[in-house]
């Protein structure tokens, strides 16, 4: 397949704010209790390997009104010390939290996902991690956590009981919808304005002469990155970024980074300076990142544009703490940073029963989040990264986020990881477009046919030298209840440079929600 120019990866998200959100009437506001969790633990693979894991989770409480103490969440575990640099597991978690006296809490949950690395035996990729935990309050927003967990990769060598320590932070996340009733006006000044950044980027890495890998030469390569920010005041922010190889010969490399940044006008109001310190985990593509822990320092310029858009360019230095991996980086990004209404911690949430925002102060900004399953039937000539023929297909679990650009056209970001097949550790990061067709449906009022195209990074144990993949397909979705869609699709996936490819069957469960976006 002919390689696509790498700048094409940015086109979908560059259009993501092209159409204004739906104009609001009277908007009702619905608070959703959410939580961030961060943890560290020492896993004990069978044999002589060591694996230290950094855990990062985002939970939504009360997903079902019948179970007020239940939660659903997204999670990731990344190797940061030991012998398996590049280990990364992604998945979903469901749990139950029981409040105790003095704001303590007991918790039990199960994480189900997929993951692996270039080193060790990850089986088919499936990762199971049940745990029990105690939370002790640190203040109104934060709590300390202690977990006892059992982590296992069936068919692999990860199998043991372990202790995890960490902390968590809770906050209210406002969703919104049109109100069926007349609401009392709520002054926007009583709410906070919270910017949210969505940023696709291309990150170029030029390794030093000291960089080592288990096969081939250490050449420069390019990564596709997706980032979001959480603002701490006007000039300080907390970024989190996921990036994976799409150019060069580093197929399979990926990294997750987070940290702290500072920005502000430097020369004119139209030129801002940016400084960042990031830590995280990464590896793959045969690169020696030691235990996986990474540090990156960035500095650069950002140029504010119209309609909440900006462009930036940053230079930096990326290094593994205990591996043979370091070099200079250059990153170009396009950012969309709208502001949404949020509440302070002392706001009386019961006011939302009677009060709402008017159409002059807010607009609905609509999104779809999805839980996905993907089956790839491997073609007969597909080989793994070592040149061995693959016989079994891959089963993937994934997550997606969509937003409408213009009528009938959506942009989407998704990520997948393998939980069954010959290559535990296979992963995807995709950026795509989905076009809904106005044709006769099996159930005209509830169904939609669509066409889709996506490209991005796919690798980890398969023959895809650059990491870049393309996928073309079609599907149909229907809505069994308000706010819920079920989609089935068929597609074809092909690597840009390598033998990897196959037929795809996908099943999605999609939930629609809206946020109150600031208009003035």
Higher pLDDT, 218 or 485: 485
- Residue 424 and residue 405 in contact, taking contact as beta carbons nearer than 8 Å: no
Model pLDDT for residues 463-478, shown as the tens digit of each residue: 899 999 999 999 999 8
Report the pLDDT value the prediction gives residue 230, as an integer from 0 to 100.
85
% of the chain surpassing 90 pLDDT: 62
Report the pLDDT value the prediction gives residue 443, as an integer from 0 to 100.
56
Is the pTM of the predicted complex or chain greater than 0.85? yes
Give which of 287, 170, 302 is closest to 220, Cα–Cα: 287
516 confidence band (pLDDT: 50, 70, 90):
very high
Model pLDDT for residues 59-68, shown as the tens digit of each residue: 999 776 677 7
Residues 6+ apart with CB under 8 A from 239: 227, 228, 229, 257, 258, 259, 260, 261, 276, 278
1 confidence band (pLDDT: 50, 70, 90):
very low
% of the chain surpassing 70 pLDDT: 93
Would you say residue 76 has pLDDT above 90? yes
Report the pLDDT value the prediction gives residue 441, as an integer from 0 to 100.
61
Would you say residue 235 has pLDDT above 50? yes
Report the pLDDT value the prediction gives residue 12, as an integer from 0 to 100.
46
CATH number for the domain whose boundaries are 192-339: 2.40.160.20
Instruction: Give the separation between CA 60 and CA 215, rounded to whole angstroms.
Output: 42
Choose the weakest-confidence range: 118-122, 382-386, 486-490: 118-122
What are the residue boundaries of the structural domains of the chain, listed by start? 27-174, 192-339, 362-518
Is 27-174 in CATH node 2.40.160.20?
yes
Beta strands in 44-158 (DSSP E): 51-61, 70-82, 88-99, 105-116, 126-137, 142-152
Average pLDDT along the chain: 88
- Whether 27-174 and 362-518 share one fold: the answer is yes
Instruction: Give the separation between CA 128 and CA 77, rounded to whole angstroms.
Output: 12
CA of 249: how far to CAs of 153, 337, 518, in Å? 29, 33, 44
Model pLDDT for residues 183-204, shown as the tens digit of each residue: 898 999 999 998 889 999 999 9
- Residue 60 and residue 72 in contact, taking contact as beta carbons nearer than 8 Å: yes
- Give the angle 353-357-358 at the CA atoms, nearest 5°: 130
Model pLDDT for residues 124-173, shown as the tens digit of each residue: 889 999 999 999 999 888 999 999 999 988 878 888 899 999 999 998 88
CATH number for the domain whose boundaries are 362-518: 2.40.160.20
């Amino acid at each position: 397949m002919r390689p696509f120019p790498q700048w094409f990866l940015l086109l979908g998200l560059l259009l993501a704010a092209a159409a204004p959100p739906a104009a609001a009437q009277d908007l009702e506001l619905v608070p959703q209790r959410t939580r961030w969790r961060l943890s560290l633990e020492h896993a004990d693979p069978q044999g002589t390997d060591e694996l230290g894991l950094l855990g990062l989770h985002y939970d939504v409480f009360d997903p079902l009104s019948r179970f007020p103490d239940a939660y659903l969440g997204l999670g990731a575990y990344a190797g940061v010390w030991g012998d398996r640099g590049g280990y990364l597991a992604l998945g979903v978690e469901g749990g139950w939290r029981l409040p105790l006296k003095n704001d303590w809490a007991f918790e039990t949950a199960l994480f189900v996902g997929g993951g692996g690395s270039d080193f060790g035996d990850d089986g088919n990729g499936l990762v199971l991690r049940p745990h029990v935990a105690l939370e002790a309050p640190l203040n109104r927003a934060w709590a300390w956590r202690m977990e006892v967990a059992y982590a296992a990769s069936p068919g692999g060598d990860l199998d043991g009981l372990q202790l995890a320590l960490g902390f968590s932070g809770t906050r209210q996340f406002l969703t919104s919808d049109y109100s069926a009733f007349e609401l009392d006006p709520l002054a926007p000044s009583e709410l906070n304005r919270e910017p949210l950044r969505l940023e696709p980027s291309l990150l170029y890495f030029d390794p030093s002469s000291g960089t080592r890998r288990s096969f081939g030469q250490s050449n420069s390569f390019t990564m596709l990155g997706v980032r979001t920010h959480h603002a701490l005041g006007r000039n300080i922010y907390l970024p989190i970024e996921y990036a994976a190889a799409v150019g060069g010969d580093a197929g399979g490399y990926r990294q997750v980074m987070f940290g702290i940044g500072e920005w502000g006008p430097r020369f004119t109001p139209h030129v801002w300076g940016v400084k960042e310190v990031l830590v995280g985990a990464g590896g793959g593509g045969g690169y020696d990142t030691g235990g996986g822990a990474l540090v990156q320092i960035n500095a650069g310029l950002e140029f504010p544009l119209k309609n909440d858009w900006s462009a930036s360019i940053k230079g930096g230095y990326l290094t593994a703490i205990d591996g043979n991996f370091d070099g200079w980086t250059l990153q170009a990004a396009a950012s969309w940073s709208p502001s949404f209404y949020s509440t302070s911690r002392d706001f009386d949430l019961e006011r939302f029963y009677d009060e709402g925002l008017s159409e002059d102060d807010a607009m609905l900004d609509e999104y779809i989040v999805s839980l996905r399953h993907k089956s790839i039937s491997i073609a007969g000539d597909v080989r793994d990264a070592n040149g061995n023929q693959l016989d079994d297909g891959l089963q993937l679990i994934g997550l997606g986020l969509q937003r409408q650009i213009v009528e009938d056209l959506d942009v989407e970001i998704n990520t997948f990881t393998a939980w069954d097949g010959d290559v535990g550790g296979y992963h995807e990061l995709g950026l795509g477009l989905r076009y809904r067709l106005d044709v006769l449906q099996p159930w005209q009022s509830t169904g939609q046919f669509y066409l889709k195209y996506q490209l991005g990074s796919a690798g980890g144990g398969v023959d895809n030298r650059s990491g870049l993949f393309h996928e073309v397909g079609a599907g149909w979705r229907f809505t069994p209840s308000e706010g819920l869609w079920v989609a089935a699709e068929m597609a074809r996936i092909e690597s840009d440079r390598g033998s990897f490819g196959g037929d795809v069957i996908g099943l999605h469960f999609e939930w629609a929600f809206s946020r109150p976006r600031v208009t003035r």
